């Protein structure tokens, strides 16, 4: 056993000689690795990766998703500069559900 000092709470703790632990508890390890911000980043990266692997694989009749939301709604919110209200409908000017190009919004 080796006596170590936790890098988060500076508590003295003993660790086994074959481990490289820097934290005295799971709570300190969670805080030390970024806590909630780290978990949110990992979840977002997973959604982005999963979305990228699934994008444009269907029959082309539905709406594309961007981070678990319909892409055309996200584009509309960015152009309007506000969140869409519940029940507000976004229509594609050219009728193509796959065309989310912001340039067509300005015409």
pTM above 0.75, yes or no: no
Per DSSP, helices labelled H in 1-107 are: 26-32, 35-54, 71-80
How do the domains of the chain map onto residue ranges? 2-32, 48-105
Among 11, 3, 16, residue whose Cα is nearest residue 29: 11
Tens-place pLDDT, residues 8-58: 898 888 887 666 678 888 888 888 888 888 888 888 888 888 777 776 676
Tens-place pLDDT, residues 52-99: 777 667 676 677 777 778 888 998 999 899 999 989 998 888 888 778
């Amino acid at each position: 056993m080796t006596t170590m000092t936790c890098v988060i709470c500076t508590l003295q703790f003993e660790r086994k000689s074959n481990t490289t632990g820097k934290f005295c508890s799971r709570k300190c390890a969670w805080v030390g690795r970024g806590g909630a911000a780290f978990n949110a980043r990992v979840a977002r990266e997973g959604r982005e990766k999963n979305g990228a692997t699934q994008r444009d694989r269907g029959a082309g009749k539905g709406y594309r998703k961007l981070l678990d939301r319909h892409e055309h709604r996200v584009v509309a919110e960015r152009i309007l500069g506000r969140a869409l209200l519940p029940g507000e409908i976004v229509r594609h000017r050219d009728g193509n559900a796959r065309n989310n190009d912001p340039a067509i919004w300005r015409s």
